[in-house]
Amino acid sequence: MMPWIDHDSLQLSESIDGNGLQHKSELTAQDCENCAIVMNPPCARGPLALHSRPEWQAVPLGRGLGLASKSQFSWLSRGPLPSRRLAKTVPPSMARTTSGNWRPAALAVVVRGFQRRRGGLCIALRASPRDSEGRKILNAPVFDASNPKSIKSRHTAEFCSRPFGVLAYAPSSTGKGAMVWELGEERYPGDPQGRARMAGVEEEFVVKAINGQDVSSWEFPDILDLLGDKTLDNSSGKFQSTSKGAMQNSPADLPVRIEFVQIQLQPTEQAPIAMTPPSQIPRPQAIREYPLRYTHAVDDAFLKSALDAFTEHAGQPVLSVDDALQLVTDADKLFRAEQTLQRVEVNSVVVVGDLHGQFYDLLRIFEELGMPSEKNPYLFNGDFVDRGAHSLEVVFTLLLLKMRYPSYIYMNRGNHEAADLNLRYGFAAEIRDHYGFDGHRLFDAFSEMFRWMPLAHVLNSDVFVVHGGLPGPDPRLPFNDAGGGGTGYDAVGFSGRRGGGQHLSLLGYNPDNVSLPPRKTELTLEDIASLPRGGDPATDLKKLAELPEDEAEVQRVIVDLLWADPRGKTGYGPSYRVRKGCYIFGPNITTAFLRRNGLRLMIRSHEVKVGGFEWTHPDCITVFSAPNYLGHAGNKGAVIKLAPDERGRLAPSFVTYEAQDVSGDVGAEQKFCSSAAS
């Protein structure tokens, strides 16, 4: 903390020519009035109090007044002293303080209105404030988050571990409050340094509350103590820094829920001294010209213009945030009008698997199989966003196609069409990078639209298309290894980083040897069609356990459709996605579901395949359309073309391809965000 320096903190030094000021010299209120431009506020206490506020900058100015430490002179006493006019010149000198926890960058005094006989003298001392890392801040921000009128918007983020990814905080010029001064970047998948960015935090956000405690009026060190945003010492497990604030706060308990606010910043205070960097001259912000303007009407010419704009300006905003909002809102209305389980009749259709923001590979698909149209319908099977560098280009393209051909463009929801994953795996960060703080409106609109997408499609009453997999066992028995028999796995009790199957392998068990029988009552298409939409799937097992059983089972089925995977062994087994409550299902499970519902083939995505597709079961195909996934997987991408065979039934054929970049080079790597499960 930078303390206020009072009468007894500093004093005057002697001059090099012996004609310096005598100690215990006093300046009157009139003296302070003569230099009111320096004092902020002007001294109103009569006898001089040497002011030191954190926002005041200080460097020597010409031949000025010097201040020295206690070791050289006695302290100035408090209270009134005999008035004494200054009639001698004031020599230059060094200025120091004896405060151990205050480290001024450069100190100075400013002499204004000095005259040999009748002039007044005013002394103003200030120090550069420092950020949480001890670095000087030449122009401290001026803000007050405790003033509700200054708050423009609010944002809440929750952190389950430290550090949060904020590299530095800064105080206001008053020494109160804490502003996000510097944010980290994600250098590798799961990097803690990128947590705050992935949670939507931006620089110049101000900490308003921590775990419900309003800290906006607290002193800066007290807020830092409560945040405890430091790296743990690997040897001791304790925080490397100790408390510095007067309140002696301990770090808040995890998880830490922080409310940030974006506020109207006041003009930064500048010091009236020669060496202070000149204030930045405000420049009018240029009005951005967006290459594309959405006006609700989408025809072939507009589609072509959009694809050209997305290609030419990839990685940059092509639509204004208002136009983007309108597009998402219009598409949202279309999805709400559709069913949870869409039944459609087609002559042929192209089924596209996970795209994950790989825009140039989407263009490659159009080149190979033709642009979508009434005669060439497409079904996009989820996971349009996250991980890849161009999620916005991908999803905007798909939505414009949906607006142009609402009856010939089909879209299933994937597990990555969910707000929690978008915050973690890149889509939220991409929106922020394009649109800044204003992008939170667009993110919310996308999240709401995703909640209303269909969960599955049935093509020609013959082919079932879903992103993830099939519902789990009935009854849904928990895996439990508590007895040590290796017959199961306790999903709820596991809290490590590895998935369930991997954990079992570490214990010496083969998860593929664990098998639960098929469902007693097979789920029907009508059961799937009746599933609710408008929310995010409940993947938090603890919260799921608190729901009534009927409601919990509905949520489990939704999670299965988005997250489950097939396996080679019959029956059900523990999934490595077990923390989502998922099971892996065998070929007999697939066959039983298809027969029960009069279907012949199942198509799903959700998993990377080396060749881009795989006959995972005799009647189940996995298709993955993002080649060289994450920039290093080396897999091919694939799409499925369903067209009538000699008996008139939809039969699959496959088109595979390598990754390509903006130049069209096959095999080139694209940029990717995080890397975890698909």
pLDDT at 165: 86
What domains lie within the chain, and their CATH numbers?
1-128 (no CATH), 148-263 (2.30.42.10), 480-584 (no CATH)
DSSP 416-462: TSSHHHHHHHSHHHHHHHHHGGGHHHHHHHHHHHHHTS-SEEEETTT
Cα–Cα distance measured from residue 360 to residue 45, given in angstroms and rounded to the nearest whole number:
70
Q: In the numeric block, which tokens belong to residue 557?
A: 């089925």
Q: Determine the pLDDT at residue 379.
A: 98
- Terminus-to-terminus CA distance in the chain, angstroms? 47
- 495 exposed, middle or buried (CB, 10 Å; 0-12, 13-18, 19+)? exposed
In terms of C-beta density within 10 A (0-12 exposed, 13-18 middle, 19 or more buried), how is residue 581 classed?
A: buried
Question: Which residues touch 219 (CB under 8 Å, ≥6 apart)?
Answer: 1, 175, 176, 245, 246, 247
Q: What is the pLDDT of residues 414-455, one digit of tens each?
A: 999 999 999 989 999 999 999 998 899 999 999 999 999 999
Q: Of 434, 464, 467, which Cα lies nearest the Cα of 563?
A: 467
Q: From the centroid of its chain, how far is CA 252? A: 21
CA angle 359, 365, 368 (to 5 degrees): 145
The angle subtended at Cα 152 by Cα 150 and Cα 156, nearest 5°, is: 115
Confidence at residue 578, expressed as pLDDT on a 0 to 100 scale: 57
- Marked catalytic residue, from 416, 440, 457, 503: 416
> Going by C-beta distance under 8 Å and a sequence separation of 6 or more, which residues neighbour residue 565?
468, 469, 575, 577, 582, 584, 585, 606, 607
Distances (CA, A) of 631 to 148, 558, 636, 673: 46, 30, 12, 9
What span, in angstroms and rounded, lies between the C-alpha atoms of 299 and 401? Answer: 9
Told to judge if 434 belongs to the known catalytic residues of this protein, a careful annotator would answer no
Cβ–Cβ under 8 Å, residues 27 and 119: no
Rounded to the nearest 5°, which phi and psi values hold at 361? -75, -30
* E strand residue ranges, 353-398: 378-380
CA distances from 494 to 481, 505, 542 (A): 11, 14, 11
456-459 β-sheet, strand order:
341-344, 456-459, 463-466, 601-604, 620-623, 613-617
In 87-178, DSSP assigns E strands to: 151-159, 166-170
List Cβ neighbours of 654 (8 Å cut-off, separation of 6 or more): 612, 613, 623, 638, 639, 640, 641
Q: How far apart are CA 218 and CA 177, in angstroms?
A: 6
Positive or negative CA dihedral for 215, 216, 217, 218? positive
Here the tokens at position 7 are: 């009468």
Distance CA 432, CA 262 (A): 14
CB-based contact 118:105 (threshold 8 Å): no
Identity of residue 572: Y
pTM of the model: 0.57
Residues linked to residue 262 through DSSP beta bridges, in sequence order:
153
Low-confidence ranges of the chain (pLDDT < 70): 1-128, 187-191, 230-243, 266-288, 477-516, 576-581, 660-678
Tokens representing residue 88 in the block:
């001698």
